[in-house]
Homo-oligomer: A and B are copies of this chain.
Amino acid sequence: MALIVQKYGGTSVSNPERIKNVVRRVAKFKALGHQIVVVVSAMSGETNRLIALAKEMQAYPDPRELDTVVSTGEQVTIGLVSMGLMQAGLKAKSYTGAQVRILTDSAFTKARILSIDEQNISNDLANGYVIVVAGFQGIDQTGNITTLGRGGSDTTGVAIAAALHADECQIYTDVDGVYTTDPRLVPEARRLKTITFEEMLEMASLGSKVLQIRAVEFAGKYKVKLRVLSSFEEDCEGTLITFEENNKMEQAIISGIAFNRDEAKITVRGVPDKPGIAYQILGPISEANVDVDMIIQNLGVDGSTDFSFTVHRNEFDKAMEILKNKVQGHIGALSVVGDNKTAKVSVVGVGMRSHVGIASKMFRSLAEEGINIQMISTSEIKISVVIDEKYLELAVRVLHKVFDLDQEPA
């Protein structure tokens, strides 16, 4: 008998029929003798509907009141799921964030969980209840309703699992796990049985949006066994996210190929090579709320250097304008050039820590296909390159093949 936390996203509870599917799965696990805590999101579309109403009332909705309004989405779901479980003959009980007492700070719309009182839930579990908890929400020290920000329901699931010392936290979503790359691009892509916590972080931040980064970090911190599964498929074991690297010893060097199509590249040329120059370039960019991804600066030659970085394609024009009007003259750079028809491709895997030659193998494979590498950035467990957007699909397919990702590891 295990204690399992199951988190279901908005598409899994989008209408009464889908909620009944959730009920069937919970009933199946319960019949096996497990204790179950269900964490749910708002029915899909509901949060957006509520935010739209709020914006009709106030141009920039007050964060406290916005949280009061949007938190109702999950509150409706917990009631409906509990009713469905009872209709199926199970004992069930719903808990809002306040009722659990998921204590958060007071940073409305992006609160952080401080503590969880697990006592009542534990008692109810011991008495045979399935517990249904509202994701995404909490309560602060003075009783204000808070929300954890978009995707916060994953974090709630992991946090509840940590507080209860659950055996596993299962995140049900509309994909059945983490793949070696996007199957729409590479039909040979395989679902990974396991992936390490750090690889997952790299894969997620690179665009494989299966799990909220924050939930993964939380799971890492509290060593919660996390599994991603499909809520629409039966008998699929999904992908387990592990935190013990020795589990990976016999596994593949590379776990997956991540990519991001929306990357735009900007280079400031002929930058005087002196202290503070990076801040003078990126300061105005971040003040304009433009997120920067890769940053590259080469060794300077003759007292000057080129400074490059990437931004989301939608923010390319804004960033270019800031650099040309506010930065270039100010710092005495030669020119600002950019390209918003680029893409980023990354190979990810903890195995590369102990294997040399991954980078050269990657670069050679791309060269053999005539793909020019425009930028390179590396971390301990990933190598990212920026290339011309038109080569993206080819590059992903080639790398997927070269690193044997279409084969089950021995």
- A residues sitting closer than 8 Å to B (CB atoms) are 16, 19-20, 50, 53-54, 56-59, 61-62, 64-66, 68-69, 71-72, 75-76, 78-84, 86-87, 92-94, 96, 98-99, 143-145
Q: Given B19, B65, B69, B82, which contacts A65 in the complex, CB threshold below 8 Å?
A: B82
A59 touches B72 (CB 8 A): no
Sample of 6 further A-B pairs with CB below 8 A, known A64-B94, A66-B83? A54-B79, A57-B87, A58-B84, A58-B86, A68-B75, A68-B79
B79 touches A66 (CB 8 A): yes
Task: Pick from A57, A79, A93, A144 the residue with the most CB of B within 10 Å.
Answer: A79
4 A-B pairs with the lowest CB-CB distances in the bound complex, closest first:
A69-B79, A72-B72, A58-B83, A16-B56
Say what secondary structure dominates the interface of chain A: helix
A351 to B61 CA separation, bound complex (whole angstroms): 53
B80 touches A62 (CB 8 A): no
Q: Given B64, B75, B87, which contacts A58 in the complex, CB threshold below 8 Å?
A: B87
A82 touches B62 (CB 8 A): yes
A80 to B94 CA separation, bound complex (whole angstroms): 25
A80 touches B69 (CB 8 A): yes
- Given the interface pairs A57-B19, A57-B84, A59-B87, the reply to whether A94 lies near B79 with Cβ below 8 Å is no
A145 to B68 CA separation, bound complex (whole angstroms): 15
B68 touches A143 (CB 8 A): no
A61 to B83 CA separation, bound complex (whole angstroms): 6
List, in ascending order, chain B residues with CB within 8 A of A78's CB: 65, 68
